[in-house]
Structure 1
Amino acid sequence: MNHDTTRPSGPRGVVSSHSVFGAPCWVSLTSRDLDATQEFYGAVLGWRWRSGKLGDRFRIAMVDDTPVAGIAAVASMWQMAVAWTPYFAVPSADEAAARAQERGGTAAVGPISFPPGRAALLADRDGAAFGVWEGELFADWDKWQQAAPTFIRLHTRDAFDAAIFYGEVLDWATERPDCCEVRYEGGEVVLRSQGTVVARIESGALGAAPDPTIRPHWQIHFTVEDVTACVRAAETHGGSVLSKGSEEAVLRDADGAQFTVVRA
Protein backbone atom coordinates (compact mmCIF):
# COMPACT_ATOMS: atom_id res chain seq x y z
CA MET A 1 0.00 0.00 0.00
CA ASN A 2 1.19 3.52 -0.74
CA HIS A 3 1.83 5.15 2.64
CA ASP A 4 1.67 8.74 1.42
CA THR A 5 1.66 11.59 3.91
CA THR A 6 -0.57 14.00 1.98
CA ARG A 7 -4.17 14.80 2.85
CA PRO A 8 -5.83 14.84 -0.57
CA SER A 9 -9.26 16.31 -1.14
CA GLY A 10 -11.92 15.34 -3.61
CA PRO A 11 -13.83 17.63 -5.97
CA ARG A 12 -15.14 20.88 -4.49
CA GLY A 13 -12.59 20.57 -1.68
CA VAL A 14 -14.35 17.63 -0.01
CA VAL A 15 -11.91 15.55 1.99
CA SER A 16 -11.18 12.06 0.71
CA SER A 17 -10.94 8.78 2.60
CA HIS A 18 -7.13 9.06 2.52
CA SER A 19 -7.19 11.91 5.05
CA VAL A 20 -9.07 10.12 7.85
CA PHE A 21 -8.25 6.54 6.93
CA GLY A 22 -9.13 3.91 9.51
CA ALA A 23 -11.75 6.13 11.17
CA PRO A 24 -15.53 5.82 10.90
CA CYS A 25 -16.60 8.21 8.15
CA TRP A 26 -20.26 7.33 7.51
CA VAL A 27 -23.20 5.32 8.80
CA SER A 28 -25.76 3.67 6.56
CA LEU A 29 -29.05 1.88 7.11
CA THR A 30 -30.53 -0.89 4.99
CA SER A 31 -34.29 -0.62 4.68
CA ARG A 32 -37.29 -2.36 3.13
CA ASP A 33 -39.40 0.81 2.89
CA LEU A 34 -37.70 4.14 2.21
CA ASP A 35 -40.75 6.29 2.86
CA ALA A 36 -41.52 4.69 6.23
CA THR A 37 -37.87 4.85 7.26
CA GLN A 38 -37.60 8.52 6.36
CA GLU A 39 -40.75 9.30 8.34
CA PHE A 40 -39.50 7.40 11.39
CA TYR A 41 -36.05 9.01 11.59
CA GLY A 42 -37.41 12.42 10.66
CA ALA A 43 -39.68 12.19 13.71
CA VAL A 44 -37.13 10.65 16.11
CA LEU A 45 -33.93 12.48 15.13
CA GLY A 46 -35.28 15.49 13.22
CA TRP A 47 -33.51 14.61 9.99
CA ARG A 48 -34.44 16.04 6.61
CA TRP A 49 -33.86 14.12 3.39
CA ARG A 50 -32.54 14.47 -0.12
CA SER A 51 -31.88 12.10 -2.97
CA GLY A 52 -28.31 10.92 -3.42
CA LYS A 53 -26.24 10.29 -6.52
CA LEU A 54 -26.93 6.56 -6.43
CA GLY A 55 -30.52 6.44 -7.67
CA ASP A 56 -34.06 6.04 -6.37
CA ARG A 57 -33.18 3.35 -3.82
CA PHE A 58 -30.96 5.71 -1.79
CA ARG A 59 -31.61 8.72 0.44
CA ILE A 60 -29.28 11.01 2.37
CA ALA A 61 -30.18 12.33 5.84
CA MET A 62 -29.36 15.99 6.39
CA VAL A 63 -28.76 18.16 9.46
CA ASP A 64 -28.88 21.74 8.19
CA ASP A 65 -26.70 21.51 5.05
CA THR A 66 -24.54 18.57 6.16
CA PRO A 67 -25.12 14.96 5.07
CA VAL A 68 -25.04 12.74 8.17
CA ALA A 69 -26.29 9.26 7.21
CA GLY A 70 -27.57 7.18 4.31
CA ILE A 71 -30.49 4.84 3.74
CA ALA A 72 -30.43 2.14 1.09
CA ALA A 73 -33.61 0.28 0.14
CA VAL A 74 -31.68 -2.86 -0.74
CA ALA A 75 -32.46 -5.19 2.17
CA SER A 76 -34.97 -7.20 0.15
CA MET A 77 -33.10 -6.95 -3.16
CA TRP A 78 -29.79 -8.17 -1.71
CA GLN A 79 -31.37 -10.40 0.96
CA MET A 80 -29.63 -8.40 3.67
CA ALA A 81 -30.63 -7.88 7.28
CA VAL A 82 -32.16 -4.51 8.15
CA ALA A 83 -29.42 -2.85 10.21
CA TRP A 84 -27.28 0.20 10.82
CA THR A 85 -23.70 -0.24 9.61
CA PRO A 86 -20.61 1.94 10.21
CA TYR A 87 -18.25 2.60 7.30
CA PHE A 88 -14.54 3.16 7.79
CA ALA A 89 -12.45 5.34 5.49
CA VAL A 90 -9.73 3.45 3.61
CA PRO A 91 -7.28 4.32 0.82
CA SER A 92 -8.30 1.15 -1.05
CA ALA A 93 -11.56 -0.77 -0.59
CA ASP A 94 -10.16 -3.71 -2.52
CA GLU A 95 -7.09 -3.99 -0.28
CA ALA A 96 -9.17 -3.65 2.90
CA ALA A 97 -11.63 -6.33 1.76
CA ALA A 98 -8.78 -8.65 0.85
CA ARG A 99 -7.12 -8.10 4.24
CA ALA A 100 -10.40 -8.83 6.04
CA GLN A 101 -10.88 -12.10 4.17
CA GLU A 102 -7.25 -13.13 4.71
CA ARG A 103 -7.86 -12.75 8.46
CA GLY A 104 -11.06 -14.80 8.63
CA GLY A 105 -13.64 -12.14 7.80
CA THR A 106 -16.15 -12.30 4.97
CA ALA A 107 -17.29 -10.03 2.15
CA ALA A 108 -21.08 -9.72 1.80
CA VAL A 109 -21.17 -7.10 -0.97
CA GLY A 110 -18.40 -5.72 -3.15
CA PRO A 111 -16.08 -4.04 -3.39
CA ILE A 112 -18.18 -2.19 -5.96
CA SER A 113 -18.17 1.34 -7.37
CA PHE A 114 -20.59 3.83 -5.85
CA PRO A 115 -19.64 7.22 -7.37
CA PRO A 116 -17.97 9.24 -5.89
CA GLY A 117 -16.23 6.26 -4.30
CA ARG A 118 -15.91 2.53 -3.90
CA ALA A 119 -17.37 0.46 -1.06
CA ALA A 120 -17.56 -3.02 0.41
CA LEU A 121 -19.81 -4.49 3.07
CA LEU A 122 -17.83 -6.92 5.22
CA ALA A 123 -18.07 -8.91 8.43
CA ASP A 124 -15.32 -9.57 10.94
CA ARG A 125 -14.45 -13.09 12.04
CA ASP A 126 -17.08 -12.98 14.80
CA GLY A 127 -19.80 -11.95 12.35
CA ALA A 128 -20.12 -8.22 13.16
CA ALA A 129 -20.95 -6.31 9.95
CA PHE A 130 -19.03 -3.20 8.90
CA GLY A 131 -18.24 -1.36 5.71
CA VAL A 132 -15.23 0.29 4.11
CA TRP A 133 -15.33 3.38 1.92
CA GLU A 134 -12.71 4.63 -0.52
CA GLY A 135 -12.98 8.03 -2.19
CA GLU A 136 -14.63 11.38 -1.66
CA LEU A 137 -16.46 11.56 1.66
CA PHE A 138 -20.14 12.44 1.72
CA ALA A 139 -19.32 15.32 4.04
CA ASP A 140 -16.21 16.95 5.45
CA TRP A 141 -15.24 14.70 8.36
CA ASP A 142 -15.11 17.49 10.95
CA LYS A 143 -18.49 18.90 9.83
CA TRP A 144 -20.00 15.40 9.92
CA GLN A 145 -18.78 14.93 13.50
CA GLN A 146 -20.23 18.30 14.55
CA ALA A 147 -23.57 18.13 12.69
CA ALA A 148 -24.74 14.80 14.07
CA PRO A 149 -22.30 13.49 16.65
CA THR A 150 -22.14 9.76 16.01
CA PHE A 151 -20.36 7.24 18.15
CA ILE A 152 -19.94 3.54 17.50
CA ARG A 153 -19.24 0.66 19.86
CA LEU A 154 -18.35 -2.89 18.92
CA HIS A 155 -19.88 -5.50 21.22
CA THR A 156 -17.73 -8.54 20.58
CA ARG A 157 -16.48 -11.80 22.04
CA ASP A 158 -12.92 -10.62 22.68
CA ALA A 159 -12.03 -6.94 22.44
CA PHE A 160 -8.28 -7.55 22.07
CA ASP A 161 -8.76 -10.09 19.30
CA ALA A 162 -11.16 -7.74 17.50
CA ALA A 163 -8.76 -4.80 17.86
CA ILE A 164 -6.02 -6.86 16.22
CA PHE A 165 -8.34 -7.81 13.33
CA TYR A 166 -9.52 -4.25 12.67
CA GLY A 167 -6.06 -2.81 13.24
CA GLU A 168 -4.60 -5.05 10.54
CA VAL A 169 -7.46 -4.38 8.12
CA LEU A 170 -7.68 -0.62 8.69
CA ASP A 171 -4.06 0.29 9.54
CA TRP A 172 -4.76 1.33 13.11
CA ALA A 173 -1.77 2.13 15.35
CA THR A 174 0.79 1.88 12.55
CA GLU A 175 3.72 4.09 11.62
CA ARG A 176 1.65 5.71 8.91
CA PRO A 177 1.06 9.43 9.62
CA ASP A 178 -2.43 10.36 10.86
CA CYS A 179 -3.44 6.78 11.59
CA CYS A 180 -5.95 6.08 14.36
CA GLU A 181 -4.62 5.60 17.88
CA VAL A 182 -5.68 2.57 19.91
CA ARG A 183 -5.57 2.43 23.71
CA TYR A 184 -7.00 0.24 26.47
CA GLU A 185 -8.97 2.43 28.86
CA GLY A 186 -11.55 1.61 31.52
CA GLY A 187 -11.97 -1.99 30.45
CA GLU A 188 -12.47 -1.16 26.75
CA VAL A 189 -10.35 -0.68 23.65
CA VAL A 190 -10.66 2.98 22.64
CA LEU A 191 -10.08 4.30 19.10
CA ARG A 192 -9.12 7.93 18.49
CA SER A 193 -8.79 9.82 15.22
CA GLN A 194 -7.11 13.22 15.30
CA GLY A 195 -7.53 13.19 19.09
CA THR A 196 -11.29 12.49 18.99
CA VAL A 197 -12.73 9.28 20.45
CA VAL A 198 -14.59 7.71 17.51
CA ALA A 199 -15.15 4.10 18.59
CA ARG A 200 -14.93 1.70 21.49
CA ILE A 201 -14.62 -2.08 21.54
CA GLU A 202 -15.88 -4.12 24.49
CA SER A 203 -15.82 -7.83 25.28
CA GLY A 204 -18.74 -9.98 26.38
CA ALA A 205 -20.93 -10.63 23.32
CA LEU A 206 -21.90 -14.25 22.70
CA GLY A 207 -21.41 -15.62 19.21
CA ALA A 208 -24.13 -18.27 19.36
CA ALA A 209 -26.72 -16.27 21.34
CA PRO A 210 -30.27 -16.54 19.99
CA ASP A 211 -30.86 -12.86 20.82
CA PRO A 212 -29.18 -10.72 18.08
CA THR A 213 -28.76 -7.82 20.52
CA ILE A 214 -26.09 -9.75 22.43
CA ARG A 215 -24.32 -11.32 19.46
CA PRO A 216 -21.23 -9.50 18.13
CA HIS A 217 -22.34 -6.29 16.39
CA TRP A 218 -21.50 -2.63 15.89
CA GLN A 219 -23.96 -0.38 17.73
CA ILE A 220 -24.54 3.14 16.37
CA HIS A 221 -25.06 5.86 18.99
CA PHE A 222 -26.64 9.19 18.03
CA THR A 223 -26.26 12.17 20.34
CA VAL A 224 -29.56 13.97 21.01
CA GLU A 225 -30.84 16.79 23.18
CA ASP A 226 -33.84 14.94 24.67
CA VAL A 227 -33.74 11.15 25.08
CA THR A 228 -37.31 10.98 26.42
CA ALA A 229 -38.67 12.82 23.38
CA CYS A 230 -36.84 10.40 21.06
CA VAL A 231 -38.30 7.41 22.92
CA ARG A 232 -41.81 8.86 22.68
CA ALA A 233 -41.43 9.60 18.96
CA ALA A 234 -40.07 6.11 18.28
CA GLU A 235 -43.04 4.46 19.98
CA THR A 236 -45.51 6.77 18.21
CA HIS A 237 -44.06 5.93 14.80
CA GLY A 238 -44.03 2.15 15.10
CA GLY A 239 -40.67 1.57 16.78
CA SER A 240 -39.92 -0.14 20.07
CA VAL A 241 -37.78 0.50 23.13
CA LEU A 242 -35.26 -2.15 24.15
CA SER A 243 -33.96 -0.23 27.17
CA LYS A 244 -34.17 3.32 28.42
CA GLY A 245 -32.85 5.69 31.04
CA SER A 246 -32.55 9.43 31.49
CA GLU A 247 -29.19 9.55 29.65
CA GLU A 248 -29.50 6.79 27.06
CA ALA A 249 -32.03 4.57 25.29
CA VAL A 250 -31.67 1.62 22.93
CA LEU A 251 -34.36 1.75 20.26
CA ARG A 252 -35.53 -0.36 17.35
CA ASP A 253 -37.10 1.29 14.32
CA ALA A 254 -40.29 0.10 12.66
CA ASP A 255 -38.26 -2.07 10.26
CA GLY A 256 -36.26 -3.75 13.05
CA ALA A 257 -32.94 -1.87 12.93
CA GLN A 258 -31.42 -1.20 16.35
CA PHE A 259 -29.65 2.02 17.43
CA THR A 260 -28.92 4.04 20.56
CA VAL A 261 -29.68 7.65 21.44
CA VAL A 262 -27.49 9.36 24.06
CA ARG A 263 -28.08 12.73 25.69
CA ALA A 264 -25.65 15.41 24.54
Structure 2
Amino acid sequence: MSDRYIAGVPCWIDLTPPDVDAAMAFYGGLFGWEFEERTPPSAPVRYAYARLEGETVAAIGSGEGEPAAWNSYVWVDDADAAVARAKSAGGEVVAAPVDLGPDGGVGRTATVRDAEGALLGLWQPRENRGAERVNAHGSLNFNDLHTRDSAAAGAFYGAVFGWDVIGVGDGQMWALPAYGDFLEQRNPGNRERQAEMGAPARFDEVVAALSPIPEDDADTATHWGVTFAVDDADAVVARASELGAEVVQGPVDLPWVRAAVIRDPQGAVFTASQFVPPA
Protein backbone atom coordinates (compact mmCIF):
# COMPACT_ATOMS: atom_id res chain seq x y z
CA MET A 1 0.00 0.00 0.00
CA SER A 2 1.19 3.52 -0.73
CA ASP A 3 2.18 5.86 2.07
CA ARG A 4 -0.62 7.44 4.06
CA TYR A 5 1.28 10.73 4.39
CA ILE A 6 3.12 13.34 2.36
CA ALA A 7 5.56 16.02 3.47
CA GLY A 8 3.83 18.54 5.72
CA VAL A 9 1.30 16.14 7.25
CA PRO A 10 1.39 15.13 10.94
CA CYS A 11 2.18 11.42 10.93
CA TRP A 12 3.25 10.22 14.37
CA ILE A 13 2.78 10.83 18.08
CA ASP A 14 4.53 9.60 21.16
CA LEU A 15 4.17 9.99 24.89
CA THR A 16 7.13 10.67 27.18
CA PRO A 17 6.06 9.89 30.76
CA PRO A 18 8.19 9.42 33.88
CA ASP A 19 6.84 5.85 34.28
CA VAL A 20 6.58 3.91 31.01
CA ASP A 21 4.99 0.83 32.58
CA ALA A 22 2.28 2.88 34.29
CA ALA A 23 1.54 4.67 31.02
CA MET A 24 1.26 1.35 29.19
CA ALA A 25 -1.17 0.09 31.82
CA PHE A 26 -3.35 3.21 31.50
CA TYR A 27 -3.53 3.41 27.71
CA GLY A 28 -3.72 -0.34 27.33
CA GLY A 29 -6.67 -0.32 29.70
CA LEU A 30 -8.29 2.67 28.03
CA PHE A 31 -7.84 1.90 24.33
CA GLY A 32 -6.76 -1.74 24.25
CA TRP A 33 -3.28 -0.92 22.99
CA GLU A 34 -0.67 -3.67 22.89
CA PHE A 35 3.01 -2.80 23.06
CA GLU A 36 6.15 -3.80 21.21
CA GLU A 37 9.44 -2.85 22.85
CA ARG A 38 11.73 -1.25 20.27
CA THR A 39 14.81 -0.78 22.44
CA PRO A 40 16.99 -3.55 23.89
CA PRO A 41 16.85 -4.24 27.64
CA SER A 42 20.34 -2.78 28.05
CA ALA A 43 19.38 0.59 26.51
CA PRO A 44 19.40 3.62 28.84
CA VAL A 45 15.91 4.60 27.68
CA ARG A 46 12.82 2.70 26.55
CA TYR A 47 10.69 3.17 23.46
CA ALA A 48 7.73 0.98 22.59
CA TYR A 49 5.26 1.04 19.73
CA ALA A 50 1.57 0.92 20.63
CA ARG A 51 -0.54 -1.22 18.32
CA LEU A 52 -4.20 -1.98 17.70
CA GLU A 53 -4.85 -5.24 15.87
CA GLY A 54 -1.22 -5.23 14.78
CA GLU A 55 -1.20 -1.69 13.37
CA THR A 56 0.89 1.07 14.94
CA VAL A 57 -1.01 3.97 16.48
CA ALA A 58 1.59 5.73 18.67
CA ALA A 59 4.58 5.09 20.91
CA ILE A 60 5.49 5.47 24.56
CA GLY A 61 9.07 6.27 25.53
CA SER A 62 11.09 7.27 28.58
CA GLY A 63 10.78 10.90 29.58
CA GLU A 64 13.87 13.02 30.14
CA GLY A 65 12.81 14.54 33.45
CA GLU A 66 10.20 16.79 31.84
CA PRO A 67 6.47 16.57 32.65
CA ALA A 68 4.58 13.87 30.78
CA ALA A 69 3.35 15.09 27.41
CA TRP A 70 2.08 13.91 24.07
CA ASN A 71 4.42 14.89 21.22
CA SER A 72 3.42 15.41 17.58
CA TYR A 73 5.62 14.78 14.52
CA VAL A 74 5.24 16.10 10.98
CA TRP A 75 6.41 14.08 7.96
CA VAL A 76 9.26 15.80 6.12
CA ASP A 77 11.30 14.70 3.12
CA ASP A 78 14.51 16.15 4.58
CA ALA A 79 14.79 16.75 8.33
CA ASP A 80 17.91 18.90 7.98
CA ALA A 81 16.26 21.18 5.42
CA ALA A 82 13.13 21.46 7.58
CA VAL A 83 15.25 22.43 10.58
CA ALA A 84 16.94 25.11 8.49
CA ARG A 85 13.55 26.50 7.46
CA ALA A 86 12.39 26.52 11.08
CA LYS A 87 15.49 28.45 12.16
CA SER A 88 15.05 30.97 9.34
CA ALA A 89 11.42 31.48 10.40
CA GLY A 90 12.42 32.35 13.97
CA GLY A 91 12.23 28.90 15.55
CA GLU A 92 14.72 27.17 17.81
CA VAL A 93 16.33 23.76 17.36
CA VAL A 94 15.73 21.77 20.54
CA ALA A 95 17.12 18.47 19.25
CA ALA A 96 19.27 18.42 16.11
CA PRO A 97 18.53 15.86 13.39
CA VAL A 98 19.57 12.34 14.35
CA ASP A 99 19.19 8.93 12.73
CA LEU A 100 17.31 6.29 14.69
CA GLY A 101 17.60 2.52 14.66
CA PRO A 102 20.34 0.24 13.34
CA ASP A 103 22.24 2.09 10.63
CA GLY A 104 19.64 4.86 10.87
CA GLY A 105 17.11 2.62 9.21
CA VAL A 106 14.05 3.57 11.25
CA GLY A 107 14.04 7.27 10.40
CA ARG A 108 15.65 10.64 11.01
CA THR A 109 14.12 13.00 13.54
CA ALA A 110 14.54 16.45 15.06
CA THR A 111 12.61 18.65 17.46
CA VAL A 112 12.02 22.35 16.97
CA ARG A 113 10.37 25.05 19.04
CA ASP A 114 8.22 27.43 17.04
CA ALA A 115 8.50 31.20 17.28
CA GLU A 116 6.01 31.24 20.17
CA GLY A 117 7.44 28.30 22.11
CA ALA A 118 5.47 25.20 21.06
CA LEU A 119 7.51 22.03 20.56
CA LEU A 120 7.05 19.97 17.40
CA GLY A 121 8.85 16.92 16.10
CA LEU A 122 10.00 16.40 12.52
CA TRP A 123 10.00 12.91 11.05
CA GLN A 124 11.92 11.90 7.94
CA PRO A 125 10.61 8.37 7.39
CA ARG A 126 12.52 5.27 6.52
CA GLU A 127 11.26 2.03 8.09
CA ASN A 128 8.68 3.82 10.23
CA ARG A 129 6.19 5.28 7.74
CA GLY A 130 4.01 6.94 10.36
CA ALA A 131 0.97 5.67 12.25
CA GLU A 132 -0.64 2.80 10.38
CA ARG A 133 -4.07 3.26 11.95
CA VAL A 134 -5.72 6.66 12.32
CA ASN A 135 -9.26 8.05 12.64
CA ALA A 136 -10.53 4.85 14.27
CA HIS A 137 -11.30 4.16 17.93
CA GLY A 138 -8.16 4.48 20.04
CA SER A 139 -6.03 6.05 17.32
CA LEU A 140 -4.88 9.52 16.33
CA ASN A 141 -7.63 11.71 14.93
CA PHE A 142 -6.16 15.21 15.00
CA ASN A 143 -3.26 17.42 16.06
CA ASP A 144 -4.06 20.88 17.38
CA LEU A 145 -1.84 23.92 17.92
CA HIS A 146 -2.92 26.00 20.92
CA THR A 147 -1.50 29.49 20.38
CA ARG A 148 -1.75 33.08 21.60
CA ASP A 149 -0.71 34.58 18.26
CA SER A 150 -2.44 33.04 15.25
CA ALA A 151 -0.80 35.45 12.83
CA ALA A 152 2.72 34.62 14.02
CA ALA A 153 1.91 30.92 13.96
CA GLY A 154 0.60 31.25 10.42
CA ALA A 155 3.82 32.89 9.28
CA PHE A 156 6.02 30.27 10.96
CA TYR A 157 4.23 27.13 9.82
CA GLY A 158 3.61 28.56 6.39
CA ALA A 159 7.35 29.04 5.97
CA VAL A 160 8.29 25.61 7.36
CA PHE A 161 5.59 23.36 5.87
CA GLY A 162 3.66 25.46 3.36
CA TRP A 163 0.52 25.46 5.50
CA ASP A 164 -2.31 27.95 5.08
CA VAL A 165 -4.68 29.09 7.83
CA ILE A 166 -8.30 28.65 6.71
CA GLY A 167 -11.60 29.33 8.42
CA VAL A 168 -13.80 26.32 9.15
CA GLY A 169 -17.08 27.29 10.74
CA ASP A 170 -16.25 29.43 13.77
CA GLY A 171 -12.73 28.04 14.00
CA GLN A 172 -9.45 27.89 12.12
CA MET A 173 -7.48 25.00 10.70
CA TRP A 174 -4.22 24.32 8.93
CA ALA A 175 -4.49 23.36 5.26
CA LEU A 176 -1.81 21.94 2.97
CA PRO A 177 -2.77 22.62 -0.67
CA ALA A 178 -1.23 19.40 -2.01
CA TYR A 179 -2.97 17.20 0.55
CA GLY A 180 -6.41 17.27 -1.04
CA ASP A 181 -5.09 15.98 -4.35
CA PHE A 182 -3.08 13.29 -2.55
CA LEU A 183 -6.13 12.06 -0.64
CA GLU A 184 -8.26 12.07 -3.77
CA GLN A 185 -5.71 9.89 -5.57
CA ARG A 186 -5.39 7.56 -2.59
CA ASN A 187 -9.12 7.42 -1.91
CA PRO A 188 -11.09 8.36 -5.06
CA GLY A 189 -14.31 10.22 -4.34
CA ASN A 190 -13.06 11.67 -1.05
CA ARG A 191 -13.93 15.26 -1.99
CA GLU A 192 -17.41 14.32 -3.18
CA ARG A 193 -18.19 12.39 0.00
CA GLN A 194 -17.02 15.27 2.18
CA ALA A 195 -19.12 17.74 0.18
CA GLU A 196 -22.20 15.53 0.55
CA MET A 197 -21.73 15.65 4.32
CA GLY A 198 -21.57 19.44 4.26
CA ALA A 199 -17.83 19.88 4.70
CA PRO A 200 -16.61 23.42 3.94
CA ALA A 201 -14.32 24.35 1.07
CA ARG A 202 -10.74 23.04 1.34
CA PHE A 203 -11.64 20.70 4.18
CA ASP A 204 -9.95 17.91 2.23
CA GLU A 205 -6.67 19.83 2.59
CA VAL A 206 -6.87 20.13 6.39
CA VAL A 207 -3.90 18.63 8.26
CA ALA A 208 -4.35 20.06 11.77
CA ALA A 209 -6.36 22.49 13.89
CA LEU A 210 -5.52 25.94 15.24
CA SER A 211 -6.98 26.91 18.62
CA PRO A 212 -6.42 30.41 20.00
CA ILE A 213 -5.74 30.46 23.75
CA PRO A 214 -8.21 32.87 25.43
CA GLU A 215 -6.69 36.13 26.62
CA ASP A 216 -7.92 35.51 30.16
CA ASP A 217 -6.15 32.12 30.32
CA ALA A 218 -2.75 32.93 31.76
CA ASP A 219 -1.89 29.34 32.68
CA THR A 220 -1.99 27.54 29.33
CA ALA A 221 1.29 27.52 27.43
CA THR A 222 1.47 27.41 23.65
CA HIS A 223 1.60 23.75 22.70
CA TRP A 224 0.62 21.02 20.27
CA GLY A 225 -2.15 18.75 21.52
CA VAL A 226 -3.43 15.40 20.29
CA THR A 227 -6.95 14.08 19.79
CA PHE A 228 -7.89 10.42 19.73
CA ALA A 229 -10.91 9.11 17.87
CA VAL A 230 -13.33 7.18 20.08
CA ASP A 231 -16.59 5.37 19.46
CA ASP A 232 -18.23 6.63 22.66
CA ALA A 233 -16.83 9.71 24.41
CA ASP A 234 -18.90 9.17 27.56
CA ALA A 235 -17.73 5.57 27.93
CA VAL A 236 -14.10 6.60 27.42
CA VAL A 237 -14.42 9.32 30.06
CA ALA A 238 -15.89 6.84 32.52
CA ARG A 239 -13.15 4.30 31.84
CA ALA A 240 -10.40 6.93 32.06
CA SER A 241 -11.74 8.00 35.45
CA GLU A 242 -11.71 4.38 36.64
CA LEU A 243 -8.05 4.17 35.59
CA GLY A 244 -7.11 7.25 37.61
CA ALA A 245 -7.33 10.04 35.02
CA GLU A 246 -8.82 13.49 35.55
CA VAL A 247 -11.58 14.77 33.31
CA VAL A 248 -10.60 18.35 32.51
CA GLN A 249 -13.61 19.16 30.35
CA GLY A 250 -16.70 17.49 28.96
CA PRO A 251 -17.91 15.50 27.32
CA VAL A 252 -19.45 18.38 25.38
CA ASP A 253 -21.28 18.49 22.08
CA LEU A 254 -19.55 20.50 19.36
CA PRO A 255 -20.12 20.70 15.60
CA TRP A 256 -19.57 17.19 14.19
CA VAL A 257 -18.18 15.73 17.45
CA ARG A 258 -18.75 14.96 21.11
CA ALA A 259 -15.47 15.52 22.89
CA ALA A 260 -13.76 15.49 26.27
CA VAL A 261 -10.37 16.66 27.52
CA ILE A 262 -8.61 14.17 29.80
CA ARG A 263 -5.44 14.38 31.90
CA ASP A 264 -3.84 10.96 32.34
CA PRO A 265 -2.52 9.83 35.75
CA GLN A 266 0.97 11.20 34.98
CA GLY A 267 -0.28 14.57 33.74
CA ALA A 268 -0.33 14.25 29.94
CA VAL A 269 -3.41 15.86 28.42
CA PHE A 270 -5.32 14.61 25.38
CA THR A 271 -8.75 14.94 23.80
CA ALA A 272 -11.15 12.07 23.12
CA SER A 273 -13.43 12.84 20.17
CA GLN A 274 -16.50 10.94 19.00
CA PHE A 275 -17.61 11.74 15.45
CA VAL A 276 -21.29 12.67 15.30
CA PRO A 277 -22.58 12.85 11.71
CA PRO A 278 -24.90 15.77 10.97
CA ALA A 279 -28.57 14.86 11.07
Scaled by the length of structure 2, the TM-score of the pair is 0.75
Alignment partners' CA distance in 2, 1:62 and 1:146: 14
Q: Unmatched 5+ residue regions in structure 2?
A: 184-203, 253-257
Q: Establish whether residue 217 from structure 1 lines up as the match of residue 200 from structure 2.
A: no
Match of 2:197 in 1: none
Q: Cα deviations across residues 46-85 of structure 1 (Å, max 9, x unaligned)?
A: 2111112576600111011210101111332xxx332111
Of 26, 36, 45 in structure 2, the residue corresponding to residue 40 of structure 1 is 26
SS at 1:245 equivalent: strand
How far 1:22 moved relative to its partner? 0.3
Of 10, 17, 38 in structure 2, the residue corresponding to residue 52 of structure 1 is 38
Given that 1:68 and 1:139 are in contact with CA atoms closer than 8 Å, whether structure 2 keeps it comes out as no
Q: Establish whether residue 31 from structure 1 lines up as the match of residue 17 from structure 2.
A: yes
Given that 1:106 and 1:125 are in contact with CA atoms closer than 8 Å, whether structure 2 keeps it comes out as yes
Given that 1:156 and 1:205 are in contact with CA atoms closer than 8 Å, whether structure 2 keeps it comes out as no
Match of 1:257 in 2: 268
SS at 1:61 equivalent: strand
Instruction: Specify the structure having the higher radius of gyration (Cα).
Output: 2
Alignment of 1:117-196 (within 5 A): 117-136=107-126, 138-139=128-129, 143-147=132-136, 148-172=139-163, 183-186=166-169, 187-192=171-176, 193=179, 194=183, 195=204
SS at 1:188 equivalent: strand
Q: Establish whether residue 110 from structure 1 lines up as the match of residue 96 from structure 2.
A: yes
Match of 1:97 in 2: 83
SS at 1:189 equivalent: strand
Classify 1:60/1:207 alpha carbon distance in 2 versus 1 (closer, same or farther; 3 Å). Answer: farther
Alignment partners' CA distance in 2, 1:135 and 1:101: 21
Stretch deviating more after TM superposition (20-29 or 192-201): 192-201
Of 59, 71, 88 in structure 1, the residue corresponding to residue 60 of structure 2 is 71
CA RMSD of aligned residues (A): 2.5
SS at 1:262 equivalent: strand
Task: Give aligned pairs, total.
Answer: 235
Identity of aligned residues (%): 34
Q: Establish whether residue 200 from structure 1 lines up as the match of residue 183 from structure 2.
A: no
SS at 1:22 equivalent: coil
Classify 1:49/1:40 alpha carbon distance in 2 versus 1 (closer, same or farther; 3 Å). Answer: same
How far 1:198 moved relative to its partner? 2.7
SS at 2:133 equivalent: helix
How far 1:129 moved relative to its partner? 1.2
Given that 1:85 and 1:130 are in contact with CA atoms closer than 8 Å, whether structure 2 keeps it comes out as yes
SS at 2:90 equivalent: coil
Given that 1:14 and 1:137 are in contact with CA atoms closer than 8 Å, whether structure 2 keeps it comes out as no
How far 1:205 moved relative to its partner? 4.9
Alignment partners' CA distance in 1, 2:274 and 2:259: 6
Alignment partners' CA distance in 1, 2:110 and 2:51: 23
Match of 2:250 in 1: 244
SS at 1:154 equivalent: strand
Alignment partners' CA distance in 2, 1:111 and 1:140: 17
Q: Unmatched 5+ residue regions in structure 1?
A: 1-12, 174-181
Letter in 2 for 1:162: A
Classify 1:50/1:250 alpha carbon distance in 2 versus 1 (closer, same or farther; 3 Å). Answer: same
Classify 1:207/1:85 alpha carbon distance in 2 versus 1 (closer, same or farther; 3 Å). Answer: farther
